[in-house]
Amino acid sequence: MSSSPSPKKASKLKTEDQLGPVSEHYEFGGPPGALFVTLTVPLFSYLLFYGCSPELGCSPTLPLRDPKLLWATLKYGVLDSFKDLDAWLIYFGWYAFTVLAWAILPGKWERGSELRIGGRLEYKINAFATMLASLAITAGLIVVKGPQGFTFLYDHWAGLVTASIANSVIQAVYCYAVSFQEGKLLALGGNSGNVLYDWFIGRELNPRIGSFDIKTFNELRPGLILWILLDISCACHQYISLNGRLTDSMWLVCAFHTWYVLDALYNESAIFTQMDITTDGFGFMLSVGDLTWVPFVYSLQARYLAFKPVDLGVAGTIGILAVNAIGYYIFRDANGEKNDFRNGSNPKKLKYMTTSTGRKLLTSGWWGRSRHPNYLGDWIMAWAWSLPTGFETPIPYFYVLFFAILLVHRQMRDDEACQKKYGKDWDRYCKLVRSRIIPGIY
């Protein structure tokens, strides 16, 4: 285990000002913005379920054409979902399984990024093993009980959404409450003094129970893996309703999503340098994002195909595979260039500039074409995940739109943070590399 100081030990040497200075400004539009996101994320999680369903169809004009029907379905559906005891048991059973897997599956301990008070935390690396164990159990269930043995996630969808929202609220409240204990290292942006805002944005930087790190755990395991299990459950539903057949579109969506999650979990330690881990506290924004939004909204295409099968044919399949391959290549190559560089190697001999902080910034390769080339690759993949659903309705393309907004907002937050970190050197970099995400366009 760690030889470096834990924040608690280090905190004895630090003043309250260093551990939790009062935040200088609001993000996300301050408390009104926090309230807006707090209400709209759960609302949209339900709306995309009830407003895109075998019963009501999947039309973006439904809220205008038949608002009463939609709101009644939503209201009674959500109320009923609270009473779905099976869903609560499945969801919290699943969550407990992922915690147990973290505790008992083997994994080496790795040190995270340097904390601003000095020292590094240690993290157990076994998210990939948890994913493999989950897939093995799922495969076992399907082999033994048949596809009908794994449709229970699809069947209890709304109840699972409700249970996950409850889990997100509980965790955000718990983390907010314990952040007032003495010696806690707070996120620089999470200590405004406004209760709603701080609860939403996350007050404590790295809430932990012993060596169990709540933030990284939730970012990578229960939500991301559940997303893939939901996809598989949708595929099982489709297989049964098509009398023993899966469409090429369903294969593509499940394969793309699974590959993306396996890739993220295989490169688990890459998360330590991400903004969510280094800068953001753990509040409702991250808990509901990780535990509800990712699994239940990112699987929208698979759920749509479960009740609206689409056959692409060979040309369509090859075309979409090509779109995903291009996106993945940019995403992986750009992230690889930066990770190699930040880990002290530069195999492609890329050009770079040295900032007055001593840290260097790449100025050629992908990072010479735009300031967030990895976001571009990620967004191209988002298209490849939605195209298999065809063109009957734009609803399964919700992810493409939402993800564009998320990435542009993230780019603005990161550019602002880099401007603070590197000052005039960042301005120099921006003059050299003018595009923010899409070279020559944005």
Residues found near ligand NDP in the complex (CB under 6 A): 274-275, 331, 335, 338, 341-342, 359, 361-362, 367, 372, 374-375, 378, 410, 414, 417-418
Distance CA 223, CA 289 (A): 9
Minimum separation from the CB atom of position 242 to ligand NDP (A): 30
Minimum separation from the CB atom of position 297 to ligand NDP (A): 10
Minimum separation from the CB atom of position 345 to ligand NDP (A): 13
Label residue 342 exposed, middle or buried (CB < 10 Å: 0-12, 13-18, 19+).
Answer: middle
Minimum separation from the CB atom of position 418 to ligand NDP (A): 5
Nearer to ligand NDP, 405 or 441 (CB): 405
Q: Which long-range contacts (CB under 8 A, 24 or more apart) does 6-15 make?
A: 6/119, 6/121, 7/115, 7/117, 7/119, 7/121, 7/183, 7/184, 7/185, 7/206, 8/183, 10/115, 10/117, 10/118, 10/119, 11/117, 11/182, 11/183, 11/184, 11/185, 12/183, 14/117
What angle do the packed helices 67-82 and 30-50 form, to 10 degrees? 90
Minimum separation from the CB atom of position 279 to ligand NDP (A): 9
Minimum separation from the CB atom of position 63 to ligand NDP (A): 26
For residues 237 and 154, the answer to whether their CB atoms sit within 8 Å is yes
Structure tokens given for 28:
């996300």
Nearer to ligand NDP, 203 or 372 (CB): 372
Minimum separation from the CB atom of position 13 to ligand NDP (A): 25
Structure tokens given for 6:
């834990």
Instruction: Find, among 205, 52, 214, the residue nearest to 123 by Cα.
Output: 214
**Residue 269, CA distances (Å) to 123, 225, 274 in order:** 9, 17, 10
- Find the length of the chain: 442
Minimum separation from the CB atom of position 432 to ligand NDP (A): 9
For residues 231 and 150, the answer to whether their CB atoms sit within 8 Å is no
Q: In sequence order, which residues have a C-beta less than 8 Å from that of residue 154 and are 6 or more positions away?
A: 230, 233, 234, 236, 237, 303, 306
Minimum separation from the CB atom of position 185 to ligand NDP (A): 18
Distance CA 405, CA 293 (A): 15
Nearer to ligand NDP, 239 or 399 (CB): 399
Nearer to ligand NDP, 78 or 127 (CB): 127
| φ, ψ at 364 (rounded to 5°) | -135, 180
Residue that has been written with the tokens 């999503």 in this structure:
257
Nearer to ligand NDP, 14 or 410 (CB): 410
Distance CA 178, CA 253 (A): 40
Nearer to ligand NDP, 150 or 328 (CB): 328
Nearer to ligand NDP, 120 or 372 (CB): 372
For residues 264 and 156, the answer to whether their CB atoms sit within 8 Å is no
Nearer to ligand NDP, 77 or 368 (CB): 368
Nearer to ligand NDP, 59 or 419 (CB): 419
Distance CA 383, CA 376 (A): 11
Distance CA 380, CA 260 (A): 13
For residues 301 and 53, the answer to whether their CB atoms sit within 8 Å is no
Nearer to ligand NDP, 217 or 239 (CB): 217
Minimum separation from the CB atom of position 254 to ligand NDP (A): 17
- 104-126 CB burial, b ≥16 within 10 A, e <16: eeebeeeebeebeeebbbbbbbb
Nearer to ligand NDP, 179 or 292 (CB): 292
Minimum separation from the CB atom of position 399 to ligand NDP (A): 9
Minimum separation from the CB atom of position 330 to ligand NDP (A): 10
Nearer to ligand NDP, 4 or 274 (CB): 274
